[in-house]
């Protein structure tokens, strides 16, 4: 695992519901709180070699 700064990173939340992957939306203030918690808890990251637009295309979401 590689240690990097996540201060300027975007947080994307996916849920697995009955084996299907769903992307999640939040109100702005809720998202800010979740981003703070996630970024505070990160100990390392694994690079997938993929870009955000590839993930959104895979999920069928227009970016």
Is 34 within a domain?
Answer: yes
What share of the chain has pLDDT > 70, as a percent? 94
Is 18 within a domain?
Answer: yes
pLDDT in tens, 28-58: 999 999 999 999 999 888 888 889 888 888 8
Is 24 within a domain?
Answer: yes
CA distance 38 to 32: 10
Whole-angstrom CA distances from 48 to 21, 26, 40 are 17, 24, 21
Is 25 within a domain?
Answer: yes
Is the confidence at residue 12, as pLDDT, over 70? yes
CA distance 57 to 35: 23
CA distance 53 to 46: 18
Is 40 within a domain?
Answer: yes
Is 43 within a domain?
Answer: yes
What's the structural domain count of the chain?
A: 1
Is 33 within a domain?
Answer: yes
What share of the chain has pLDDT > 90, as a percent? 37
Is 5 within a domain?
Answer: no
**Domain that residue 31 falls in:** 14-59
Determine if the pTM surpasses 0.85.
no
**Among candidate residues 52, 47, 50, the one with its CA nearest the CA of residue 23:** 52
């Amino acid at each position: 695992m590689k240690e990097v700064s996540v201060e300027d990173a975007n947080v994307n939340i996916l849920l697995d519901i009955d084996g299907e992957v769903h992307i999640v939306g939040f109100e702005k203030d809720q998202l800010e709180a979740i981003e703070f918690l996630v970024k505070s808890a990160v100990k390392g990251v694994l690079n997938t070699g993929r870009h955000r637009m590839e993930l959104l295309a895979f999920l069928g979401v227009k970016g």
